[in-house]
């Protein structure tokens, strides 16, 4: 594919080179590449390069595609859970009260930049700081393969509820109400069978990607035309087709496009405005207040019967500031309510919160495992049915990850060893599907320290088979198995040769490369048929 048009759009190929270099550097030191992209924006800012219209369009396109893919994976039943809507409403209200009072207090004592803010503007800024970043959370969950886990679904549900609150705020702050034509958007619901039919007929190649772009951009434009936030349109259209079996394939096929355009988003954050020492200091001082947000999230989630581990992992994902803060600041600056430096302040606080949150999210299970007794002090005795520790019921073989590879492994092992095989997955809908097909599939997470503590005391498992979606999840599971000195055999799947070595070094007794071994299996099957 010719990417020359991307270089032209960004204005200079050196921008892409710098973004790649700093993103690569961030990966080498154990941080997500997005941290390097943020740094690129600030470097370009310091060099006097400002964000152009085209770059902003790329950033907007990245967010639109992101929300569309979120919709493809969103379970609407999650939104009606008290653990989502109640936690979101209480969290926003409490943070507005606490942060609003603190900001107004600083304004009263005439702290630079804060002076001149009245109570209304103080509460508005507090509202913006109460949000968490959809971009950061989704990329973090996708990177770990945890979008469909309970803590991932809770975090995504809270973000969607926050987005709905943002839509209401933006409508009120701009004084623009949706037009009466917005009622026609309800017709999208009866049109869902048509969307599904077209999706079924698109096949598996470039037409599938193109159809995804049509849905995402078309939905955004349709909502924009009737006075509703465009990104909400992309999200809702994604939700409308999320129940189709090919929705996950569409999400995967659009992953590269979404990530490419999101580079523009991270660059634009760092280029939001001119840096000054005053703005830098205030932005950095805002970062520790993320801990207040985190403590409140954790406390509320445990009060609503979530396990301490589920609450902590969801909280760590939400422990950052949101790009919505930049939107609020831009509204305030445009209307002359606050100084233009607030754009830089919010950009710095947002960027540094990402830098702090990234390593915490990559080590979330270690954080829980090291202080498990402390975290468990906060959880209630009552548990939700889908957040309880499983009972392996005397199984001797456990298959973790019941996707296509795991399902095939489960069926073969059950054929060879009978009903002593159990499948384990954290995706509730996938579990229901397998159980309807007669498979014994239970809820569980291979990186859950609580689960392995229970296994250590009661298990009869002799073979663990890790058919997990990515390398890091497999390494986390192997770390937990080492922690309990698991005496049995451990088999794991890999996609690349370097992954095989890492898995073997981490304790896997057998590693199956799903690409090379699939070819060998294919050849063996053909040979057996001809010999038969």
DSSP string, 33-92: HHHHHHHHHHHHHHTT----HHHHHHHHHHHHHHHHHHHHH--HHHHTSHHHHHHHHHHH
Interstrand relation of 510-513 and 489-494 (parallel, antiparallel or unpaired): parallel
What pTM value is reported for the model? 0.71
Residue 381 covered by a domain: no
Are 190 and 48 members of one domain? yes
Does residue 353 share a domain with residue 440? no
Host H or E run for residue 494 = strand 489-494
Say whether both 366 and 393 belong to one domain: no
- β-strand partners of 423: 399, 441
Count of structural domains within the chain: 2
In a domain, 165, yes or no: yes
Tell me whether residue 123 is in a domain: yes
Return the CATH number at 426.
Answer: 3.40.50.720
Q: What is the pLDDT of residue 143?
A: 74
Q: Are residues 312 and 432 in the same domain?
A: no
Question: Domain limits at 152?
Answer: 4-376
Domain shared by 316 and 411, yes or no: no
In this predicted structure, what is the pLDDT of residue 93? 94
Q: Is residue 383 part of a domain?
A: no
The tens-digit pLDDT sequence of the chain (532 residues) is 445 545 444 455 667 778 888 888 887 876 777 778 878 887 877 777 665 666 677 777 777 887 787 778 777 777 788 888 899 999 999 999 999 999 999 889 888 888 878 888 899 889 989 999 887 888 788 777 777 778 888 998 898 888 778 767 766 665 566 778 778 888 888 888 898 888 888 877 778 888 888 888 888 888 888 877 777 788 888 888 888 888 877 877 776 677 777 777 777 776 766 677 887 888 889 999 999 999 999 999 999 988 888 899 999 999 999 877 777 777 777 777 777 778 788 888 888 888 888 888 878 878 887 887 888 888 887 777 666 666 666 788 888 888 888 888 888 888 888 888 888 887 777 888 888 888 888 877 776 666 666 665 556 788 888 888 778 778 888 887 887 778 888 888 888 888 888 888 888 888 888 776 666 666 666 666 666 5
- Give the end of a domain, one of 320, 352, 376: 376
Spatial CB neighbours of 350, under 8 Å, sequence gap ≥ 6 = 133, 269, 320, 321, 322, 323, 325, 326
In terms of DSSP H, where are the helices of 132-191? Answer: 134-144, 150-174
First to last CA, the chain: 46
Residue 11: give its domain's CATH number: 1.20.1530.20
Domain annotation covers residue 189: yes
CA 507 to chain centre: 29
- Closest by CA position to 66, among listed 216, 211, 223, 214: 216
| Structure-token pair, residue 84 | 């989502």
Whether residue 382 lies inside any domain: the answer is no
For residues 371 and 403, state if they share a domain. Answer: no
Give pLDDT, residue 277.
80
Same domain assignment for residues 181 and 103? yes
Residue 482 belongs to some domain of the structure: yes
Residue pair 350/323 in contact (Cβ under 8 Å)? The answer is yes
Q: What is the pLDDT of residue 319?
A: 92
Last residue of a domain, one of 376, 400, 431: 376
Where among 376, 411, 431 does a domain terminate? 376
- 268, 127: one domain: yes
Q: Provide the pLDDT for residue 28.
A: 82
Do the Cβ atoms of 357 and 319 come closer than 8 Å?
yes
């Amino acid at each position: 594919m010719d990417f020359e048009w991307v270089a032209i759009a960004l204005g200079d190929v050196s921008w892409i080179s710098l973004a790649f270099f700093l993103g690569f550097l961030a990966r080498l030191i154990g941080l997500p590449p997005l941290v390097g992209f943020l740094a690129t924006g600030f470097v370009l800012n310091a060099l006097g390069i400002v964000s152009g219209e085209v770059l902003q369009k790329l950033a907007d396109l990245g967010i639109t595609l992101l929300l569309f893919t979120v919709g493809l994976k969103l379970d609407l039943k999650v939104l009606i859970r008290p653990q989502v809507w109640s936690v979101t409403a209480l969290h926003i209200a409490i943070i507005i009260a606490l942060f609003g009072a603190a900001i107004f207090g600083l304004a009263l004592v005439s702290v630079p930049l804060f002076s001149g803010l009245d109570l209304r503007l103080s509460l508005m800024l507090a509202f913006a700081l109460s949000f968490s970043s959809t971009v950061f959370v989704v990329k973090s969950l996708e990177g770990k393969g945890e979008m469909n886990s309970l803590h991932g679904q809770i975090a995504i549900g809270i973000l969607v509820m926050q987005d709905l609150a943002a839509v209401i705020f933006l409508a009120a702050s701009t004084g623009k109400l949706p037009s009466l034509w917005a009622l026609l958007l309800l017709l999208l619901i009866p049109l869902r069978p048509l969307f599904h039919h077209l999706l079924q007929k698109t096949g598996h190649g470039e037409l599938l990607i193109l159809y995804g772009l049509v849905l995402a951009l078309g939905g955004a434009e349709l909502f924009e035309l009737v006075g509703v936030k465009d990104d909400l349109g992309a999200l809702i259209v994604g939700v409308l087709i999320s129940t189709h079996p090919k929705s996950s394939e569409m999400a995967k096929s659009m992953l590269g496009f979404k990530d490419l355009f999101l580079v523009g988003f991270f660059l634009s954050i760092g280029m939001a405005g001119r840096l000054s020492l005053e703005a830098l200091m205030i932005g950095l001082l805002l970062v520790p207040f993320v801990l207040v947000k985190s403590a409140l999230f954790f406390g509320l989630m445990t009060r609503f019967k979530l396990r301490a581990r589920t609450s902590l992992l969801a909280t760590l994902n939400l422990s950052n500031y949101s790009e919505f803060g930049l939107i609020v600041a831009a509204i305030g600056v445009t209307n002359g309510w606050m100084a233009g430096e607030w754009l830089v302040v919010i950009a710095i606080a947002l960027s540094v919160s990402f830098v702090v949150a990234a390593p915490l999210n990559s080590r979330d299970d270690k954080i829980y495992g090291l202080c498990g007794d402390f975290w468990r002090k906060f959880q209630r005795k009552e548990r939700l049915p889908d957040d309880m520790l499983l009972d392996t019921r005397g199984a001797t073989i456990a298959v973790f990850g019941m996707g296509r590879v795991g399902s095939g492994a489960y069926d073969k092992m059950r054929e060879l060893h009978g009903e002593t095989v159990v499948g384990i997955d954290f995706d509730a809908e996938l579990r229901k599907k397998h159980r309807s097909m007669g498979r014994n599939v239970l809820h569980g997470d291979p990186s859950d320290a609580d689960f392995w503590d229970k296994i250590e005391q009661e298990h009869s498992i002799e073979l663990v088979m890790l058919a997990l979606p990515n390398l890091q999840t497999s390494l986390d599971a192997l770390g937990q198995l080492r922690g309990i000195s698991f005496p049995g055999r451990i088999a794991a799947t890999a996609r690349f040769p370097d992954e095989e070595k890492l898995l073997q070094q981490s304790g896997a007794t057998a590693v199956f490369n799903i690409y090379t071994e699939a070819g060998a299996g294919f050849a063996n099957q053909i040979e057996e048929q001809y010999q038969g």
